[in-house]
């Protein structure tokens, strides 16, 4: 009986607050942020799409995520505005989507935005759709009133509604024209005809690299880990010292300037300026997970202490802020107590106090240059303009940690995303090169993720701790978990990891590979997988590399054939885009140059692991065997056999230089 009264109180409370939208029944942290909006939001699904058809209203689709700063801005300006809400409710069926929950749906509409606007999109993504979900108008953040860069919602909403009601044929024509951009047949060319090579990729990378500030692009800077990975591969494959120096310069700049949290560790999502000075203050799990292996690789070849420190500090930051029950949360917000970057920046007084008693105050001030006087809204976000951390850094950092204790840490999105957790587990396996304890830590997180996301022989995409996952896994979940398992196998050579990776590979093929085309999900949306690396590595590119690695590790021509056929269907796009699809370009090189499998006993491989990692061939896998000598093999032959690793290394170099 008491439960009846509790339910009645909840219902009465809802009516009292005039809550009309359906997001109150969702679990997504992003959707929950909008449950009290006056807009009659509905989650994506048959109910919302059916309502649009019944009421013959176009759909307003709003895609964002819980830690998105500009999503918060648009929510405050528009979605919480009673007058704007009346326009939305009168003319549209409004659907709110968490892009981390429906990443495949987001990928589709982001690709449409790119093709319509000729520039990348972002969040919030705002799309106005016909009843069959075809967009006739697409944008990102839309201001409340007219601005020089965009029409305001106050005039846009009535205008689009009138167009839909009074001139539906033109709306449908426009929607069909936009939709057709996504369904042009893929041009197929044979691998032998593909004009993509080490030279073409190197030229493309050099053309994009910013030699002034280090990085890619001339305006705001993203880490672009897939592109940086490609640049490092090209440097190693050709012994290109200039490319290698570009890579190290970029790693240095990201670690010492504003992209990195100099006080508590970890990288922000991107820099709003070309010089990496001021970031957008979100910390995403995937950003940390994809950068850690690059700093590990750089440390392997240079032994620069900064790189190891960055790895250790970033993992420690995640342990402190993002870990619960051995699972990783998704992201933290940019805002703190309604101030952008408020937790991360310091006043002049706070800096002066932190510097005041430091015996290396002069060196610190010189390394900080003019940012001490303020570089972000009258306050300071730390940047070091040196190649190393200055003397006195540790004490300075400790003093600033104390200053932050009185501040409110930003909101954390506590979703457990399978793909992102898998990325981080793989990063820990790579970090085991620096400290073997990271491998044990990775095993613990892997077991926790399997218990959380893999149930009844089914992999699931995401959920919250304490709630049973319901959404089945997407291509990205399979791709990144398989990659993590392969990385784990190469650390301890446990057959269980490789066998599970192979099982998931076959499951993924049956779910997502139809008639020679890869799809992002196994549902009625039929969204093709894209090779463009967006905010993290393309799931399709990652899957191609998985196939090539498992083909080598399992000595399977069947897996190699799937990878080859898939890459051949993408050659035209890779040829055209070159380094703009860097992860797929790496997969192409892996298939074109060949995966080399280095074999020996488990004991010998573990003993010589540090030396093996220094071999300058990026497409090398290690595999245990019964032989007590080293064997270097391609899929079709072994070309070197010796007890000495140095001889094998020399022969691998000769092999790839042919």
pLDDT at 113: 86
Mean pLDDT of the chain, nearest integer:
92
User: Does pLDDT of 281 surpass 60?
Assistant: yes
Is-contact 334 270, C-beta < 8 A?
no
Distances (CA, A) of 323 to 53, 293, 424: 43, 19, 11
Is-contact 652 640, C-beta < 8 A?
yes
Distance between CA atoms of 332 and 315, rounded to whole angstroms?
A: 15
Strand partners, 417: 462
pLDDT at 33: 94
Distance between CA atoms of 638 and 628, rounded to whole angstroms?
A: 15
pLDDT at 658: 67
pLDDT at 355: 94
DSSP string, 104-121: HHHHHHHHHHHHHHSS--
Is-contact 214 387, C-beta < 8 A?
no
- Residues 6 or more apart whose CB falls under 8 angstroms from that of 620 comprise 595, 596, 597, 598, 612, 652
- Residues 6 or more apart whose CB falls under 8 angstroms from that of 298 comprise 232, 247, 248, 251, 304, 307
Structure confidence by residue, pLDDT tens digits, 344-397: 999 999 999 999 889 999 999 999 998 988 999 999 999 999 999 999 999 999
* Cα angle, residue 361 at apex, residues 357 and 364 outer, rounded to 5°: 135
pLDDT band at 529 (very low <50, low <70, confident <90, very high): very high
User: Does pLDDT of 14 surpass 50?
Assistant: no
Length of the chain: 658
Structure confidence by residue, pLDDT tens digits, 624-633: 999 889 999 9
Place of tokens 């001339």: 218
Distance between CA atoms of 40 and 377, rounded to whole angstroms?
A: 36
Structure confidence by residue, pLDDT tens digits, 65-103: 999 988 999 999 999 999 999 999 999 999 999 999 999
pLDDT at 112: 85
Distance between CA atoms of 560 and 550, rounded to whole angstroms?
A: 8
Distance between CA atoms of 138 and 114, rounded to whole angstroms?
A: 10
Structure confidence by residue, pLDDT tens digits, 96-136: 999 999 999 998 888 888 888 877 888 999 999 999 999 99
Distance between CA atoms of 358 and 372, rounded to whole angstroms?
A: 15
User: Does pLDDT of 284 surpass 50?
Assistant: yes
pLDDT band at 657 (very low <50, low <70, confident <90, very high): confident
Q: Is the pTM of this model over 0.95?
A: no
pLDDT band at 51 (very low <50, low <70, confident <90, very high): very high
Summarize the confidence of residues 436-460 as an average pLDDT: 97
Structure confidence by residue, pLDDT tens digits, 229-257: 999 999 999 999 999 999 999 999 999 99
* Cα angle, residue 577 at apex, residues 513 and 558 outer, rounded to 5°: 30
User: Does pLDDT of 7 surpass 50?
Assistant: no
- Residues 6 or more apart whose CB falls under 8 angstroms from that of 491 comprise 429, 432, 439, 442
Does the N-terminal peptide bond of residue 124 adopt cis geometry, omega within 30 degrees of 0? yes
pLDDT at 10: 44
């Amino acid at each position: 009986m008491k439960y009846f009264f509790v339910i009645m109180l909840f219902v009465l409370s809802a009516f009292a607050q005039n809550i009309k939208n359906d997001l109150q029944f969702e679990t997504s942290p992003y959707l929950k942020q909008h449950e009290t909006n006056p807009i009659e939001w509905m989650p994506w699904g048959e109910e919302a799409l059916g309502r649009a058809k019944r009421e013959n209203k176009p759909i307003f689709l709003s895609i964002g995520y819980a830690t998105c700063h500009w999503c918060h801005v648009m929510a405050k300006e528009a979605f919480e505005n009673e007058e704007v809400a009346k326009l939305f409710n009168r003319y549209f069926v409004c659907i709110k989507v968490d892009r981390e929950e429906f990443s495949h749906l987001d990928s589709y509409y982001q690709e449409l935005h790119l093709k319509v606007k000729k520039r990348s999109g972002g969040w919030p993504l705002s799309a106005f759709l016909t009843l069959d979900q075809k967009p006739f108008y697409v944008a990102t953040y839309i201001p409340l009133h007219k601005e020089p860069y965009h029409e305001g919602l106050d005039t846009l909403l009535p205008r689009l509604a009138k167009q839909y009601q009074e001139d539906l044929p033109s709306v449908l024509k426009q929607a069909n024209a936009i939709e057709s951009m996504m369904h042009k047949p893929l041009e197929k060319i044979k691998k032998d005809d593909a004009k993509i090579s080490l030279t073409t990729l190197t030229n493309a990378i050099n053309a994009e690299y910013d030699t002034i500030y280090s990085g890619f692009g001339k305006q705001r800077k993203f880490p672009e880990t897939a592109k940086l990975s490609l640049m490092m591969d090209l440097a190693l494959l050709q012994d290109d010292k200039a490319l290698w120096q570009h890579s190290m310069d970029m790693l240095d700049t990201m670690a010492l300037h504003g992209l990195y949290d100099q006080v508590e560790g970890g990288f922000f999502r991107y820099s709003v300026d070309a010089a990496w000075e001021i970031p957008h203050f979100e910390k995403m799990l995937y950003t940390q997970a994809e950068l850690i292996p690059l700093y590990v690789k750089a440390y392997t070849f240079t032994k620069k202490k900064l790189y190891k420190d960055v790895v250790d500090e970033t993992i420690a930051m995640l342990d402190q802020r993002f870990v619960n029950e051995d699972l990783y949360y998704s992201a933290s917000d940019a805002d703190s107590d309604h101030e952008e970057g408020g937790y991360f920046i310091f006043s002049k007084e706070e800096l002066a106090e932190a510097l005041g008693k430091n015996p290396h105050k002069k060196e610190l001030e010189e390394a900080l240059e003019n940012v001490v006087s303020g570089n972000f809204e009258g306050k300071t976000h730390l940047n070091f303009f040196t190649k190393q951390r200055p003397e006195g850094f540790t004490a300075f950092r400790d003093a600033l940690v104390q200053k932050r204790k009185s501040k409110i840490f930003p909101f954390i999105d506590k979703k457990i995303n399978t793909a992102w957790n898998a990325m981080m587990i793989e990063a820990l396996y790579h970090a085991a090169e620096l400290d073997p304890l990271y491998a044990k830590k990775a095993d613990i997180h892997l077991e926790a993720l399997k218990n959380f996301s893999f149930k009844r022989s089914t992999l699931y995409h995401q959920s919250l701790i304490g709630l049973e996952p319901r959404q089945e896994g997407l291509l990205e979940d399979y791709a990144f978990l398989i990659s993590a398992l392969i990385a784990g196998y190469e650390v301890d050579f446990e057959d269980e990891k490789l066998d599970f990776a192979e099982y998931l590979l076959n499951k993924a093929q049956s779910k997502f590979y139809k008639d020679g085309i890869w799809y992002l999900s196994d549902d009625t949306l039929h969204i093709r997988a894209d090779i463009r690396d967006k905010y993290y590595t393309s799931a399709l590119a990652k899957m191609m590399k998985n196939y090539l690695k498992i083909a080598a590790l399992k000595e399977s021509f069947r897996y190699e054939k799937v990878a080859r056929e898939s890459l051949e269907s993408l050659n035209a796009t890779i040829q055209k885009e070159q380094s703009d699809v860097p992860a797929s370009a790496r997969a192409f090189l892996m298939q074109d140059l060949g995966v080399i499998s280095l074999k020996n006993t488990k004991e010998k491989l573990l003993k010589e692991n540090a030396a093996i990692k220094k071999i300058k061939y990026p497409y090398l896998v290690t595999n245990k065997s019964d032989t007590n000598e080293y064997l270097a093999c391609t899929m079709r032959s072994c070309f070197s056999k010796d007890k000495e690793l140095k001889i094998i290394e020399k022969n691998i170099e000769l092999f790839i230089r042919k």
